[in-house]
Amino acid sequence: MSEPQTIAVEFKRVMKSFGTKRVLNDVSFHIDQGQALCLLGRSGTGKSVTLKLIMALMRPDSGEVWVDQNNVVGMNEHGLSFVRRKLGYLFQDAALFDSLTLYENLALPLSRLTRKSKDEIDDVVHRVLTDVGLGADGAKYPSALSGGMKKRAGLARALVLEPKILLADEPSSGLDRITASEIDELLMRCKSEHRTALIIVTHDVRGARRIADRVAVLDKGNLVAFGPVDEVSQSENEVVRKLITE
Amino acid sequence: MRWLSNLFEFVGKVGLFSLRIVVDSFRPPFELAQLTRQVAEVGNKSLALIVVSGFALGAVMTLHTRNTLVTFGATALIPAVQAVSFFVEIGPLVAGLLLAGRVGSGIGAVLANMRASEQIDAIESLSIDSFKFLVVPRVLACVIALPFLTLFMDFAGLLGGLLSEELSSHITPALYINRAFDYLQWSNFIAPTLKTAVFGFIIGSVSSYFGFTTDKGAQGVGEAATNSVVLSSLLIIVADVVLIKCIFFLFPETAI
């Protein structure tokens, strides 16, 4: 018997502007636990803003953002701290802490947010680094890592607390096809092994076809298409067709 | 009048930022590991600059003072003048300004770079209070380190003066030290040294404000570094005037 579907993230009529520029205009969608949603769209159409709204790093001008059945809009810092523990975030440029080694980057959230002993933290960090193929690189500083290694390290840090929802901002951008494919494999493993909900901002349509259960296409702040990839591919919207059938 | 309203807005923002630092300093969790790291960063790495500058400044000041005091036949007072001027004013002020240059620019640039590269967002995304984690330890490190660095500057200045005098008049070190501390009272020493904790707070909070709140990407890194040095140096000099008046009020014997 399949598990009942629970909504992992839901946007309800979300608006967000920067000055006079509206980047999200009345956007509504939801994604269930264990599903993968790829956000597609041209640059500057509000994809990264969508992720930051989910993480409550920004607040919408209006509307509601529900994360694991908590409306994060207007929530206080204590509540946000509780919700953020369920989320992992892979930033576009990985955003690893320059002054910490790779090991310390991963150990930091574990030592701060869990009651694990030093040995347990060592085990978890080593396991996650090995999972992303960086088992031997824990002592390195981010400045010594290549672009692909940084992305994998950022993914490792996002996964180290075993989040229910993983947000990834262009996980394969700037990477060669093989490395991008390896990152995609890691993301798919998260989804299949841990029922992690994935929300991925990407320009890589081939990757989106492999990973996504749903795709959402944003254009000039509007959600112009949402649904399974095959369904969205049939859209008559010109932007959607150009993006999906590249 | 727009500039005036912008000025008030800016002063208000920096004031609230500083107030939050004070409040968060007393609110757990206390970031002791970060604080230790920052004290080492601020203190250890500034020590050579402070000592060398103090020594050179002490030597130069003695050379200048000597000419004047010789005219009045008061060369015996050179060590005392050196000690009083260094402990009361030159040491604290110069140490503060040097630290504003070295540490202030560093804090501004590092935090601005962390903002531009989304590292601060990453800290928030890990449920860690980025303000308490990044800003408070840096400010406290400046508050703790600057009085100690000032002491190093004071004694390095005396040492520079001693060397200069030794070469000019062959005074013995024992006599120099004896004369230097003849006119120095505890109030000349403690209050001016402790006032540098306020300078440290100014450097830490102003630099952190510019770095932490920038939203101009890579361009903001340079701006934050420059603004941190300029404003904290200016505020140190202005605060010095106010603090000296306060010291004179609290310790009237220091106001000759």
| Per-residue pLDDT at A174 exceeds 80 | no
Whether B75 contacts B188, CB under 8 Å: no
Query: In this predicted structure, what is the pLDDT of residue B53?
Result: 96
Q: Which domain holds residue A229?
A: 7-97+164-244
- In total, the C-beta contacts within 8 angstroms joining chain A to chain B are 56
pLDDT band at A217 (very low <50, low <70, confident <90, very high): very high
B255, pLDDT greater than 80: no
Residue A159 lies inside a defined structural domain of this protein: no
pTM, two decimals, is 0.87
**Residues with Cβ < 8 Å from A145, sequence gap 6 or more?**
A96, A102, A137, A153
User: What is the count of structural domains for chain A?
Assistant: 1
State pLDDT tens for residues A3-27. 567 899 999 999 999 988 899 999 9
pLDDT in tens, B152-183: 999 999 999 999 988 888 888 899 888 888 88
By CB atoms closer than 10 A (0-12, 13-18, 19+), residue A87 is: buried
Please check the confidence at residue A157 and state whether its pLDDT lies above 80.
yes
Mutation to test the B interface, candidates A68, A72, A84, most B Cβ within 10 Å: A84
Q: What's the rounded Cα separation, in Å, for the pair B129 and A90?
A: 19
Q: Residue A191 is part of a domain; what is its CATH number?
A: 3.40.50.300
User: Contacts of residue A52 in chain B, CB cutoff 8 Å?
Assistant: 121
Partners of B34 on chain A (C-beta within 8 Å) are: none
B192 phi and psi, to 5 degrees? -65, -30
Query: Residue B120 has what pLDDT?
Result: 94
Instruction: Note whether B118 contacts A92, CB cutoff 8 Å.
Output: yes
pLDDT digit string, tens, across residues B195-228: 999 999 999 999 999 999 998 888 889 999 999 9
Residue B241 buriedness (CB in 10 A; 0-12 / 13-18 / 19+): exposed
In a domain, A106, yes or no: no
Mutate to test the interface with B, among A48, A49, A108 (most CBs of B within 10 A): A108
Give yes or no for residue A232 having a pLDDT over 60.
yes
How many domains does the structure of chain B reveal?
A: 1
Q: Is there a domain that residue A158 lies in?
A: no
- Answer whether B124 sits within 8 Å of A84, measured CB to CB: yes
- Given a cut of 90, whether residue A246 has pLDDT beyond it is no
* A61 found inside a domain: yes
Among B114, B125, B129, the residue with its CB nearest the CB of A89 is: B125
What is the mean predicted confidence (pLDDT) over B89-101?
A: 95
Strand partners, A65: A11
Write the CA distances from B212 to A99, A203, B11, B43, integer angstroms. 17, 31, 16, 22
Residue B16, domain extent: 2-254
Is A46 among the domain residues? yes
Strands A197-201, A165-169: pairing kind? parallel
Q: What is the ipTM of this complex?
A: 0.87
Question: By three-state DSSP, how is residue A64 classified?
Answer: strand
pLDDT for the residue B181: 86
Mean pLDDT confidence for B81-99? 92
Contact criterion met (CB < 8 Å) for B128 and A97: no
